Amino acid sequence: MEQLTPNWFTQGVIDFEHKKYVLLAYLQHISKQFDESKLYPFLSDLIFHYQNLIALRSNQQEVQDKMPKKLRKLDFEQFRLEYEKIMDDDDYMLEIRSILNFAIPKIMNSLKEGKNIYEYVEDKIAIEPIGIVPLNKNFGYMILNNGQSREAKVYEYELSVYENFNEKYRSLRTHFINSYTKKFTQTYENIKIDLIRTHKKLPNPATYLVNSPVQFPLVETFLPIAKRSLVRHICS
SS (HEC) of 122-137: HHHCEEEECCCCCCCC
Same domain as 195, residue 179: yes
Domain finish residue from 122, 146, 170: 122
Q: Which of 57, 90, 122 is the last residue of a domain?
A: 122
Are residue 166 and residue 70 in the same domain, yes or no? no
Query: Taking the alpha carbons of 75, 79, 85, 86 in that order, is the dihedral positive or negative?
Result: positive
Q: What angle do CA 95, 105, 229 make, to 5 degrees?
A: 135
10 Å Cβ neighbour count for 106?
A: 15
Same domain, 104 and 32: yes
Same domain for 155 and 135: yes
Same domain, 46 and 94: yes
Judgement on whether residues 134 and 215 belong to the same structural domain of the protein: yes
Query: Is 8 part of any domain?
Result: no
Question: CA-CA-CA-CA torsion for 209, 210, 214, 216, nearest 10 degrees?
Answer: -130
Pair (151, 71) in one structural domain: no
Does 7 reside within a domain? no
Give the span between the Cα atoms of 3 and 25, in whole angstroms. 9
| Residue 83 and residue 167 share a domain | no
**pTM (2 decimals)?**
0.83
Q: Is residue 5 part of a domain?
A: no
Whole-number pLDDT of residue 12:
83
Asked whether residue 221 is assigned to any structural domain, the reply reads: yes
Pair (73, 173) in one structural domain = no
Q: What is the pLDDT of residue 165?
A: 66
Instruction: Give the C-alpha distances (Å, rounded to integers) separating 179 from 175, 194, 205, 218.
Output: 12, 12, 18, 13
Q: Which domain holds residue 58?
A: 16-122
Q: Are residues 116 and 151 in the same domain?
A: no
- Please give the average pLDDT of every successive group of 10 residues along the chain, which has 236 residues: 83 89 96 97 94 85 55 47 52 85 96 96 97 94 94 96 74 95 87 94 94 96 97 93
Claim to verify: residue 85 and residue 143 sit in the same structural domain: no
Report pLDDT for 74. 46
Which residue, of 55, 87, 122, is where some domain finishes? 122
Alpha-carbon distance 154 to 143, whole Å?
4
In a domain, 10, yes or no: no
Strands 139-146 and 126-129 turn out to be: unpaired
**Number of structural domains in the chain:** 2
Residues 118 and 147 in one domain: no
63 three-class SS: helix
What is the DSSP pairing of strand 206-212 with strand 139-146?
parallel
- Return the pLDDT at 47: 95
